[in-house]
Amino acid sequence: MIRVSWLPLLFCLLAGAVHAQMAAAPASASTAAVTLAPVTVTGMQPGPGLWKVSRGGHVLWVLGTLTPLPEGMPWHSAQVERALAQSQELLEVPTARLRLDTSVLGKLLLLPSAYGARRNPDDATLHQLLPPPAYAKWQALCRQYGVHGWGSAHWRPIVAALELYKAALKRGGLTDSDEVARTVEKLARRHGVKRTPVEYQLVVAHPRDAVETIRETRQQDIDCLQQTMDVAAHGMDVLGVRADAWSVGDVAALRRISPEASHATCVIAAMNADFARQLRLRDLPALIDAAWLDAARQALARNAATFAVLPMDKLLSPGGPLARLKMEGYAVQLPDEAGP
């Protein structure tokens, strides 16, 4: 069993959201990259309140997480710890796992193929793939944010986008590590709460054939890199505003700048490869949501109290998991309406 990292996929969704926020703003007279002061947070931060899902005396408390957040941010929520201590079970952040239905030899052969997927087919360079203005912008942003790495001239555009994003976050004092979810898991261990992974399994019958298709570069990859360059040049302030809003528990502000359906350009780019089609990644977000909903319904039925962690964008989405539960007859209360 191999845990699949969906960071590039989630990152591209976020990049699309920020890109859309920028598009809605008045155009700037200057196209030069903006260097912002790093986000700094002082003092212990409470984060947002909890969503409450209930039916028949059974309750599910849900904490919405967010990335990126201010690096090194001290976070503690008395409400979270109190609700968790009173719960019988913690539903962890939903993930996907890749299961290889093959021989041990096939599993071993998977690794070098996946490693090679960072580079373009036929060893093409970004200089060859990108239009001249886009390549000039890439070079300028690399210098600004200190983006470098072995073989960087031959990176796939989607890899280049991820590396640029990580470097821009670091310069802005932000981090995409999910420390909040890890802290919740530590609290669960402290209070003896059962931890339940929520996973959707993807089965690959022929890993060598499937992974080889990752190597294909698509125009959507280039589009995603161009969106990311726009974010790095002009949109880091949106990420800082979101991070600050989560830190102080300003759900209204998070709702105003929450991603919408039209922000999925980079997600489509990451999913349209043949590899994605073989693994049904086109439907992956919906499949993971379905796995979480099944786990939530079962936990609500068997426990007096359950605690769960979900990405904030899922909680705020009009068609997200909590909206689905509400349609099924569960009572759903917002953070300012609920509290243990």
How confident is the model over 290-303, as pLDDT tens digits?
A: 999 999 999 999 99
Nearest residue to 265 via CA among 230, 216, 300, 311: 230
Q: What is the residue type of 255?
A: R
Query: What confidence category does residue 2 fall into, taking pLDDT thresholds of 50, 70 and 90?
Result: very low
Three-state secondary structure call for residue 122? helix
Q: Are 181 and 93 in contact (CB under 8 A)?
A: yes
CA gap 194, 191 in Å, rounded: 9
**Dihedral pair phi/psi, residue 207, rounded to 5°:** -60, -35
CA gap 324, 315 in Å, rounded: 11
In the block, tokens 């991820």 appear at 162
pTM of the entire structure? 0.78
Q: Which stretches within the chain are classed as H helix?
A: 7-24, 78-85, 104-116, 126-129, 132-145, 157-171, 179-190, 207-212, 219-230, 236-248, 251-256, 265-271, 274-278, 284-302, 312-316, 321-327
* pLDDT computed for residue 235 by the predictor: 77
Residue 36 has pLDDT above 80, yes or no: no
In the block, tokens 């102080």 appear at 248
How confident is the model over 76-91, as pLDDT tens digits?
A: 889 999 999 999 999 9
